[in-house]
Structure 1
Amino acid sequence: MSTSRGRITAGYACLAVVALAGGQARAQQADGVSSSHLDELQQQVTAQTQKLELLRQALAEQERGVAELQRALNQERLAAARGRGGASAAQENTPIEPTLAQSQAQASPTPAQDAPPAQPVGRAPEPETRPPEVAQIFDQPGVLTPGGTFVLEPSLQFGYWANDRVALVGYTVIPAILIGLIDVRQVKTTSGIATLTGRMGLGDRFELEAKVPYMYVSGDTVSREIFTGSAVDRVFNATGHGLGDIEATLRYQINQGGMDAAYWIGWLRYKSRTGKDLFEVVTDCVTRCVGNATGTGLPLELPTGTGFEALQPGVTWLYPTDPVVFFGSFSYLHNFPRDNVSRRVLGGAEESLGEIDAGNIYGFNVGMGLALNEKASISLGYDQSIVGKTQQNGKDAAGAVRVVLGTLLVGASYRYNERSTLNLSLGVGVTRDTPDLTLTARLPTSF
């Protein structure tokens, strides 16, 4: 009995040992399976992380490409709004770039394959670095000529102005009663200027301009001396024609503006004195004009030049903001003085004037341009110049005063084709010393 019980106990012990060994084996096998499964999951997570990183890089690249395309599109819209027309031939022949969805579909890998490298969306058009074109109403344009391009611009300007002058020589015994001479004069001047201008683009931001004018000027002076027994108007006529003052200008675009960012263009202008000046024409004086002259004191021939060399630095700005472009400039013109100046009087005599220093000029203007369609645009603006007093031998010349010239301008531009544009501008004087009417036509053609 005890022997059987011992055998049973031993049998249970053996079974327990066998069960324990089997459990340990199964545990070891389960641990191996679990470790292998975890390694496989870790590898999958690592692969998915790498794929997500590649997708993130591809998406960032696509976003940058879309941003560049949007900026280029804004520039193209602005250019079209300023009357420059559609895209150029090179842009029209550019293949259509893949869309963002297509690029993402090409760049996104499937779970069964490795992620390919990021695919670029495409190269955006080069951003426009030139200011938008507007109808030109001022003498200094705001848009530079592209590098390697030559622009030939013939222009024709017509001007007219009339001034009234009353000279009182006498004395008064009671207010409003004059005893003496009253000289009333009305001066009417008509001018026509034909100018040939050439501009050459030097690189992306430099421009050189040369201007050669030919002038025709006609003046009529109507006067009547009261208290002299004459009831007939006296008319004095004078004309002048010939080459004017040749000019040269260098311009440089200082910065690269854009939508809601101003363009700044600096320039330096040199004006010669190739035209016939006031000191070279004959003056209607029988004796010296400085003394008690017996002639009219007026020139028998009108000059075509100022008689002074000048240097004028300035800066032009343009601020595009849809749908208009604001523009303007600031400048300072310095006239170089002349020494040993003399003028001719009737009879061939020479009258010495000494040193003459013409007044310097401070100028500014401001305007705005608006596109009507792809070919036509209009501009409105105001131009003002402040002319200093002329000095003779270091002192203010007799009768010299400071003069303010103000002109209100309106202009229109029509682009015939990619090479030629017609510009018309009308100026109306708002001060007494400014020409009453100025009409200018320009036809710039690029080569």
Structure 2
Amino acid sequence: MPDIARRASVLLATATALPFATTAAAQDADPLAEWIESDDLSQELDEAVQPDMATELAELRARDSASRQRIADLEDRLDRLEKVAGLAGAYPLNAAEQAAMRGRGFGTNVMSPTYRGDQIELLRGPSGFVSAIQDQEPEETESATRREPAPSQSVTDITEDAQGYFGRRFSFETGINYAHFDDARINLSGFLALDAIFLGLISIDEQSSDIITTDFTGRFAPSDRLQFDVNVPVIYRSSVFQSGGAGGNASGLADARVEEFGIGDINGGVSYRLLRETVRRPDVVINARVKGPTGRDPFGIGLVEVPGTEGNLEVPESLSTGSGVWAASVGASVLKTLDPMIVFGNLTYFHNFQRGFEDIDEIEGLQPGDVDIGNAIQFGAGFAFALNEKSSISTSFTLRYGDETRLRFDEGEFSDVIGSGSTVGLLNLGATFAISDRISLLTSVGVGMTTDAPDVTVSARVPFRF
């Protein structure tokens, strides 16, 4: 630019002096006049000016192109948001945009438009939503993409606990569960005289049981749709048996404690994500499990008379830590995000395979036979709220119906064990806390709602994600 100014000033001074030049001087071969009239000056000026002008012009064109593209992108996203809001020709947002909505306070109807003249206003939603969606890369179709994890760790914990740890290649979980049972019965041994007088022995028996289960679970997810897991439980059981009226004494009391510690039934399962969650449909996972009889079975355990009770109180020699039979289950679980609430449910069918044992009775001697402990079906449903980025609370209810156990001694027919059928209803209250992006604490307290259910359960689990 300084060269251009200098040459322009020289040109101006020369042009001013030309009218005063003499004819003779004009007729002489003046080098300055020849240089001015030649094309060399124009060429040098073009060479000095054009590169700078071309650079500025290219920059202006690039800015204009970027602005036009930005406006086009914004108009396209606005058009898509209006269609999702319920306008004609609506189609769902892609998975990345749906993920941006999760955990940000959007409900099922918050995108309904409000018309103000010729303007459309979308009512609720934080100011950062549009920018969050703009930061996502557009995707071609909804079915070709997976649902991204929720933006808050607390929502992620709820989703993974209910559906599975898909997308995390390896994970490990350790947990502890405590359950308490309390049962009281009145035993009558005698007969009724004159329809009003009972003659015989009366005793009040009470059984209190505490079960502590420590679980170790390993998971492997080769893809974002498939997951395998193996669970190894270690069980400690303690039962206290008490009897009133022991030895024929109405005020006599007797008690005995029986304890057992050992491995439970090892089980493994596979889960497959059938459908990924979108704005309109829930997340659907199907699963199957197999359980082996690795724990101590409850059959053939003898009874021991408590000294001083004259046969009024008998307790088992040991306690079981497993069911004793092979079992399999199939089920499905469903989860839907309705911010700020997450709802989930599951349905599972349990099948227990018939098995033969060398002894199926508590009396002395071997009593071989077959056992069919019956099948069961379980329903469950609940909902959860994310309190903040790191914590959430949840509540759920499960109900399980179990068939009666059937026994068959050798060369005999199957007969039902009276009172062995069960209806287990449990109300759970839970809370999750995200310790870090890879470690969480999941806690719950359960209250038994039926006579077959435990009185109370308390559990804590810590999943580690790799």
Residues 273, 306 of structure 1: 8 Å contact kept: yes
SS at match of 1:202: coil
Say which is worse superposed, 318-327 or 171-180, in terms of deviation: 171-180
| TM-score, scaled to structure 1 | 0.69
SS at match of 1:342: coil
What is the identity, as a one-letter code, of the residue corresponding to 1:337?
Q
Change (3 A) 1:130 1:356: farther
Shift of 1:378: 0.6
Shift of 1:204: 1.4
Residue of 315, 322, 327 corresponding to 1:298: 315
Residues 421, 443 of structure 1: 8 Å contact kept: yes
- Match for residue 182 of structure 1? 202
- Match for residue 262 of structure 1? 282
Residues 357, 392 of structure 1: 8 Å contact kept: yes
Residues 283, 344 of structure 1: 8 Å contact kept: no
Shift of 1:425: 0.3
CA distance in 2, matches of 1:77, 1:410: 27
Shift of 1:226: 6.7
Residues 260, 319 of structure 1: 8 Å contact kept: no
CA distance in 1, matches of 2:301, 2:455: 26
Residue of 299, 312, 316 corresponding to 2:329: 312
Residues 106-255 of structure 1 aligned to structure 2 (within 5 Å): 123-124=137-138, 128-129=146-147, 141-147=161-167, 149-175=169-195, 177-225=197-245, 228-229=248-249, 231-255=251-275
Residues 246, 312 of structure 2: 8 Å contact kept: no
Residues 217, 232 of structure 2: 8 Å contact kept: yes
Shift of 1:401: 3.7
CA distance in 1, matches of 2:167, 2:253: 58
What is the identity, as a one-letter code, of the residue corresponding to 2:370?
E
Say which is worse superposed, 276-285 or 265-274, in terms of deviation: 276-285
What 5-or-longer segments of structure 2 have no aligned partner?
1-67, 82-91, 107-129
- Match for residue 442 of structure 1? 461
Shift of 1:332: 0.9
CA distance in 2, matches of 1:73, 1:409: 33
| Sequence identity percentage | 26
- Match for residue 358 of structure 1? 373
What 5-or-longer segments of structure 1 have no aligned partner?
1-54, 83-95, 101-120, 287-292
Residues 381, 398 of structure 2: 8 Å contact kept: yes
1:342 and 2:359 aligned? yes
State the aligned residue count.
Answer: 350
Shift of 1:141: 3.7
Say which is worse superposed, 155-164 or 258-267, in terms of deviation: 258-267
| TM-score, scaled to structure 2 | 0.67
What is the identity, as a one-letter code, of the residue corresponding to 1:399?
I
Residues 245, 252 of structure 2: 8 Å contact kept: no
CA distance in 1, matches of 2:133, 2:372: 68
Change (3 A) 1:320 1:308: same
What is the identity, as a one-letter code, of the residue corresponding to 2:147?
T
Change (3 A) 1:337 1:224: same
SS at match of 1:274: coil
- Match for residue 388 of structure 1? 403
Change (3 A) 1:422 1:135: farther
Which digits, 9 at most, give the CA deviation of each residue in 1:156-200, with x for residues without a partner?
111111001112233323455322222311000011111111111
Residues 284, 295 of structure 1: 8 Å contact kept: no
SS at match of 1:350: coil
Which digits, 9 at most, give the CA deviation of each residue in 1:316-361, with x for residues without a partner?
1112112111111111111111124415869xx5331411100211
- Match for residue 377 of structure 1? 392
- Match for residue 92 of structure 1? none
Residues 334, 344 of structure 2: 8 Å contact kept: yes
Shift of 1:130: 5.8
TM superposition outliers: structure 1 runs of 4+ over 6 Å: 96-100, 135-138
CA distance in 2, matches of 1:70, 1:337: 51
- Match for residue 11 of structure 2? none
SS at match of 1:435: coil
What is the identity, as a one-letter code, of the residue corresponding to 2:76?
E
CA distance in 2, matches of 1:163, 1:193: 20
CA distance in 1, matches of 2:441, 2:136: 38
Say which is worse superposed, 426-435 or 254-263, in terms of deviation: 254-263
Q: Which has the higher contact order (CA 8 A, sep 6+)?
A: 1
SS at match of 1:142: helix
Which digits, 9 at most, give the CA deviation of each residue in 1:390-409, with x for residues without a partner?
00125333434421111110
What is the identity, as a one-letter code, of the residue corresponding to 1:423?
L
What is the identity, as a one-letter code, of the residue corresponding to 1:171?
F
CA distance in 2, matches of 1:97, 1:191: 52
